A and B are shown apart, each in its own frame.
Chain A
């Protein structure tokens, strides 16, 4: 056991992720894709994948490259593989966007962009799964948060596999009947595996550890945590394996997804109880901005579950699926992601800059790298904009939705600006910024020394 060091490329992942988030917000504000276009329109597909791959997956990969080693107290299997994975994922996303533009008739060339995207994204995610999988496999015993991440990695493999099948079918590369059928009705399975399995389940696992760490609460290995893991895993298996089998045997994947939803609600309720326990059992009474804002992300997650249940009851889920995905992606996943990113960048930058001289010279505290009263305004604007956007989406007011996403864009620019200031140590008083022996960290590459 030698502990964990700084992940070299995580900052580059975070930067690429934020750029994708800006792009998605600009698209929504410009009226590109849903709700102006239908959920299945190429424009919407572009928007959804810029959010899911560009923003959320790159953010998650960057965070996992840093925190999987922390979860299992093992060094990352390979720091080197992280860079080609990033290049493959970004270029794969670009090819995917071009492929969708081709489907929408925006580009005339016959270059097989969707097939290229399949190869690039497939290889990129495979490298991530291999790197993190080997890191997990080196641990003598997986703590519960790491088991959540393991399930999440299986789910991203399933998501990418389905995505590749869809891309090859839509791009005309394959035309086997079964795959055509799967592409026709398998989209909800793909979305559930991605948003539910990969992003939500992994975020749950990592949040158990990060919340405990930053709030000084005991690490949880409670029966409820085990039950959340077990029930959640079964629900995901039912949704993904059950859904695919149903689709291939001319059944209805909706039944598998409904069964999985019930299990998913149970798992999320147990997770909610655990998180409440973490907040209550914390030793640190004054919690920092990231933990306060994360609470609002949890509220969005709970609201998403209630919304799905209500829409199912009213028989309107299909009609409002765009609004559901919006709340899950921007209220829950992005809310959590932005809040934790704000803290993670401060913590990692502090560790990189001052770790080597701790005890040898006076150093600033981590909190000296951030100015919370300024950042909190941007976070409030972001959350209000997302919730307002959700309401006007449900009410069918597309123009007001664009106003809301414009506010989201302004807020995330503000948050990203704060994160940039943190990374450049602009918030630290000049006199104590760089004591002898300390070096200003590079923007996108972290060094070990």
Chain B
């Protein structure tokens, strides 16, 4: 018997300067039907509310005594069973393994962006590219959007490597 809530504490990740988005999405993907997510964070994760709402979760947030936040994400009626099936690309397990991996961490900017885009141009529709970078690629992201690619990115637990997965031509299927 699984419990009503899966607990996920992203406070250590946040305190290390990491980006817990991928961690949270993996937890969401692993929920059994009807199960909710109990999330602990160091701030009220407002942007997450709309993301998870689109995946069929309502939320109840409350501030803890120490200023941290506890948020309950509850599957809305009927949505729990249909949401994953309706949006297969939205859960990370649905992405194929990367066809190509790039380690761009030691390159002078904007070389990481140049190589990443060059690699995407050589790939086929639906394939996935994995790139390691040394910071959030703020100028790359709009360019990926313009070219119709979907992406998911986050800092690794070490807090210094930013890992981005890019799926070629998949932007229509997923709102990143």
Using a CB–CB distance below 8 Å, which chain A residues touch chain B?
1-5, 69-70, 73, 140-141, 212-214, 216, 218-219, 221, 283-284, 347, 350-351, 355-356, 358-360, 363, 365-366, 448
- CA of A213 to CA of B137 in the docked complex: distance in angstroms? 11
B138, A218: Cβ atoms closer than 8 Å: no
- CA of A70 to CA of B43 in the docked complex: distance in angstroms? 21
Residues on B with beta carbons closer than 8 Å to the beta carbon of A351:
110, 139
Residues on A with beta carbons closer than 8 Å to the beta carbon of B136:
3, 73
B98 at the interface (CB under 8 A from A): no
B1-21 toward A: CB 8 Å interface, digit per residue (1/0)?
000000000000010010000
- What's the minimum C-beta distance from A447 to chain B, rounded to whole angstroms? 12
A3, B46: Cβ atoms closer than 8 Å: no
Across the interface, name the chain A residue whose C-beta is closest to B110: A366
Using a CB–CB distance below 8 Å, which chain B residues touch chain A?
14, 17, 43, 45-47, 106, 108-111, 113-114, 117-122, 134-143, 145-146, 160, 176
- CA of A4 to CA of B139 in the docked complex: distance in angstroms? 6
A73, B121: Cβ atoms closer than 8 Å: no
A214, B109: Cβ atoms closer than 8 Å: yes
Given A358-B118, A358-B143, answer yes or no on A140-B109 (Cβ-Cβ < 8 Å): no
B143, A355: Cβ atoms closer than 8 Å: yes
A221, B45: Cβ atoms closer than 8 Å: no
Residues on A with beta carbons closer than 8 Å to the beta carbon of B121:
359-360
- What's the minimum C-beta distance from B108 to chain A, rounded to whole angstroms? 6
Chain B CB count within 10 A is highest, among A4, A218, A284, A359, for A359
Tell me what chain A mostly uses at the interface: helix, strand, loop, or mixed. Answer: loop
* 5 closest residue pairs by CB, A with B: A3-B141, A359-B121, A359-B118, A359-B117, A358-B117
A355, B118: Cβ atoms closer than 8 Å: no
- What's the minimum C-beta distance from A351 to chain B, rounded to whole angstroms? 6
Residues on B with beta carbons closer than 8 Å to the beta carbon of A5:
139, 142
A356, B146: Cβ atoms closer than 8 Å: yes
- CA of A304 to CA of B114 in the docked complex: distance in angstroms? 41
Show 17 residue pairs from A and B whose CB-CB distance is below 8 angstroms, ordered by the A residue: A2-B176, A3-B136, A3-B139, A3-B140, A3-B142, A5-B139, A140-B43, A140-B47, A141-B14, A213-B109, A216-B106, A218-B160, A283-B106, A350-B110, A358-B114, A359-B119, A359-B121
Across the interface, name the chain A residue whose C-beta is closest to B19: A1
B114, A4: Cβ atoms closer than 8 Å: no
Residues on B with beta carbons closer than 8 Å to the beta carbon of A2:
141-142, 145, 176
Residues on A with beta carbons closer than 8 Å to the beta carbon of B47:
1, 140
Across the interface, name the chain A residue whose C-beta is closest to B122: A359
A4, B106: Cβ atoms closer than 8 Å: no
Residues on B with beta carbons closer than 8 Å to the beta carbon of A69:
138
- What's the minimum C-beta distance from A213 to chain B, rounded to whole angstroms? 6
Given A141-B43, A213-B109, A360-B121, answer yes or no on A355-B160 (Cβ-Cβ < 8 Å): no
Residues on A with beta carbons closer than 8 Å to the beta carbon of B141:
1-3
- What's the minimum C-beta distance from A209 to chain B, rounded to whole angstroms? 9
- CA of A358 to CA of B114 in the docked complex: distance in angstroms? 6
Residues on A with beta carbons closer than 8 Å to the beta carbon of B46:
140
- CA of A365 to CA of B109 in the docked complex: distance in angstroms? 10
B17, A358: Cβ atoms closer than 8 Å: no
- CA of A231 to CA of B118 in the docked complex: distance in angstroms? 46
- CA of A236 to CA of B134 in the docked complex: distance in angstroms? 34
- What's the minimum C-beta distance from A15 to chain B, rounded to whole angstroms? 22
A1-B47, A1-B141, A359-B118 known; 13 new pairs, CB 8 Å cut-off, are: A3-B141, A4-B142, A70-B139, A141-B14, A141-B43, A214-B109, A347-B110, A351-B110, A351-B139, A356-B146, A358-B143, A359-B114, A448-B142
